[in-house]
Amino acid sequence: MRRPSVPLRRRTLLGGLAPALALVQPAAAEAFPARPLRLVVPFAPGGGLDAVGRILAQHLAPGLGQQMVVENRTGAGGAVGTDVMAKAAPDGYTLALLSPGTATIGPVIRPSPYDPLSFGYVSRVVASPLFLICAQDYPPADLAAFIAEQRRRPDATRFGTAGIGTSMHLAGELLKLRLDIQMLHVPYRGVGPALTDLAAGNIDVCFSDASAWPAVQQGQFRLLAVTSPERWAEAPQVPAIAEVVSGYGVTNWYGVASPAGTPEDRRLRLHREIVRVLADPQVVAALRGLGYGPAPLAPEAFAAFVRAEYEVWGQVVRAAHISAG
């Protein structure tokens, strides 16, 4: 039998190798996103977190070329919804809107089904101060008089909040630690009931989030101070607590995170789109109407911010002996 020619042998060899080579070639990268995304909001519709999430989802969709569906998953102070995100596939298609209560406070007060420091952080979105508010006829006329009253009668003031373990609660506990006073905490199931009792005179002051801003603007309550390190641009005449209490500062914030292991390039793509949305004057106006301001942080900076907050609030929780039960 005649031996095959060299070219034929080469063709046979290459033909046999082709399927094997195909197996080791990297798969073509999937365009991201290639299908709708979901944004888990771990609280009920109607609150500040939900409102920010819906604004964000609506305006992100055009730039991403895909719909972003808001999914409200409530329970356990936001832990249920956040855990839905934490256990999802790390592909960038399931995100959650975080807050201090779900990322930096709740997990240090009660057992958590997830580790917030392991998330694939995408971007901080908004920030705002918390408010120290009172009824219009509350005797201390300003922050200085309020501080003087606490030092004169360190255990006489009742302060209301949206509940044990909320950022509002810890803002009050931090003030107690800084002033070495003993204000009485009165927890409620949300800001609304706390404001109702404040108006009725059942509590003296209230630490509230930005949802109380419209009521302050309408003259129902008086804003004594803000908790941010500096004065708030929306009410520049109102002092920051830090002006008279050294080292004090509490900021309420919301941000987007994905499951641990989500590829960095996908997180960066989402962050860039969030930054683009937060530069839209229409979005800025909508957020400011809710009492929030754009405050984007890139993934690494946002992760570092969360780690620092987690450490600070852990110290406050331990010093104030706060527990969920």
Please report, rounded to a whole number, the percentage of residues in the chain having pLDDT higher than 70: 91
pLDDT in tens, 84-102: 999 999 999 999 999 998 9
Query: What tens digit of pLDDT does each residue of 37-83 get?
Result: 999 999 888 778 899 999 999 999 999 999 999 999 988 888 999 99
* pLDDT exceeds 80 at position 17: no
DSSP annotation string for 25-65: SPPPPPPS--S-EEEEESS-TTSHHHHHHHHHHHHHHHHHT
- Classified by CATH at the fold level, domain 131-243 comes out as D-Maltodextrin-Binding Protein; domain 2 (3.40.190)
Q: How confident is the model at residue 274 (pLDDT cuts 50, 70, 90)?
A: very high
Is 309 a residue whose pLDDT tops 70? yes
* Number of other residues whose CB lies within 10 A of the CB of residue 193: 14
pLDDT of amino acid 29: 57
Judge if 37-129+251-320 and 131-243 fold alike in CATH terms: yes
What is the spatial distance between Cα 120 and Cα 86, in angstroms, rounded to a whole number? 9
Q: Which fold has domain 37-129+251-320?
A: D-Maltodextrin-Binding Protein; domain 2 (3.40.190)
Whole-number Å distance between alpha carbons of 286 and 282: 6
Q: Going by C-beta distance under 8 Å and a sequence separation of 6 or more, which residues neighbour residue 197?
A: 160, 186, 188, 203
Q: How far is CA 274 from CA 125, 184, 322, in A?
A: 7, 40, 35
| pLDDT exceeds cutoff 60 at 187 | yes
Helix, strand, coil shares of the chain as percentages rounded to 5?
A: 45, 20, 35
For 216-269, what is each residue's pLDDT tens digit? 999 999 999 999 999 998 899 999 999 999 889 999 999 999 999 999 999 999
Q: What is the pLDDT of residues 166-179, one digit of tens each?
A: 889 999 999 999 98
Mean pLDDT for the stretch of residues 297-310: 97
Q: List the one residue out of 102, 89, 98, 87 whose CA is nearest residue 122.
A: 98
Mean pLDDT, all residues of the chain: 89
Does pLDDT of 2 surpass 60? Answer: no
Cis, bond preceding 33 (omega within 30 deg of 0): yes
Taken in order 13, 16, 18, 22, the sign of the CA dihedral is negative
Q: Which residues are within 8 A (CB) of 221 and not within 5 positions of it... i.e. 6 or more apart?
A: 133, 134, 135, 136, 195, 198, 199, 206, 212, 215
Residue 16 has pLDDT above 90, yes or no: no
* Residue, of 204 and 320, whose pLDDT is higher: 204
pLDDT at 306 exceeding the cut of 90? yes
pLDDT given at position 166:
84
pLDDT at 6 > cutoff 50: no
Token pair listed for 218: 């309408």
pLDDT of residue 14 exceeding 80, the answer is no
Supply the pTM of this predicted model: 0.80
Residue 22: is its pLDDT beyond 50?
Answer: no
Domain limits of the chain? 37-129+251-320, 131-243
Task: Give the pLDDT score at 28.
Answer: 44
Are 165 and 105 contacting, i.e. CB atoms less than 8 angstroms apart? yes
Question: What is the Cα–Cα distance from 119 to 17, expressed in whole angstroms?
Answer: 42
- Chain segment 101-115, per-residue pLDDT in tens: 899 999 999 899 999
Torsion angle of C-alpha atoms 106, 36, 53, 58, degrees rounded to 10: 170
